Amino acid sequence: MNLKHLLWNNALSSSFILAAACSPLKTSPHDEKHQWEIKLHQVQTELDDLRHDTNCFQTELQILDGRIKYYENALASLKQQDIEKQQVKLEAIAQDLRSLEKKWNAFEKTQEGTQGNWQQIASNANETTLVLSQFKTRIQELEGEIISQNHRFEELAKIKGSLESLAKSLKVPYKIYKVRSGDSLEKIASAHHTKVEKIKKLNELTKDLIVVDQELKIPLD
């Protein structure tokens, strides 16, 4: 039973009770008491259903908050893992650069040698070309992985946004407050940073009269 259905049933029950009270038909005191007990039982049942639905909404909100925190932790973990992977790859690239620098130094020294060293120079040149090709390939692979990770971050951000929107749509716009001894609508409104008129409108009150243990809906805005 949803909130709209409960409010509609309450309105029907109130109308039925009012009609019964205004009816010209005469009944015995026993029958009249029995009818009132039935109506009171129906109202109590509907109030219990409303409390149950409110608790269900609050439970769903807690579950959604937990999921949002889980995805936030997952995002942070993925970012940390990607940073560590990139650091490892950057260190490997730095080692390749140092190796390449050594080979270039060796290449320059061979140029100062005799004509008989040209074969060695050609071999070093081929190795240098191979290292440069491998270095270029590794850079391309790293760029591809970075792009892929960015796509993953965007997808996770969309999921997080959807969950946050869903959580906002499920939030109940009020909370329940049980009236205590010495309370008044003005005192309750001041304590919860709202206005008396808002509380009366939300609870469909026509007067400022409230009683102890009465449950009031307090707006959250």
Domains in the chain: boundaries: 3-172, 173-221
pTM of the model: 0.30
**Residues 61 and 9 sit within 8 Å (Cβ to Cβ):** no
Higher-confidence residue of 118 and 6: namely 118
- Residues 6 or more apart whose Cβ sits within 8 Å of residue 178: 213, 214, 215, 216
Q: What is the pLDDT of residues 86-103, one digit of tens each?
A: 888 878 888 888 888 888
Question: From CA 64, how far away is CA 170, in angstroms rounded?
Answer: 10
pLDDT for the residue numbered 26? 53
Burial group, residue 102, by CB count within 10 angstroms (0-12, 13-18, 19+): exposed
pLDDT at 121 over 90: no
Above 60 in pLDDT, residue 72? yes
> Is 195 or 97 the better-scoring residue by pLDDT?
195
Share of the chain above pLDDT 70, in %: 78
What's the rounded mean pLDDT across residues 205-212? 94
pLDDT given at position 53:
83
Average pLDDT over residues 95-116: 76
Q: How many CB atoms lie within 10 A of CB 97?
A: 12
User: What residues contact residue 135 under an 8 Å CB cut-off, 6+ apart?
Assistant: 93, 96, 97, 100
Mean pLDDT of 3-30: 52
Give the per-residue pLDDT at 180.
95
Q: Which fold has domain 173-221?
A: Membrane-bound Lytic Murein Transglycosylase D; Chain A (3.10.350)
* pLDDT value for 21: 46
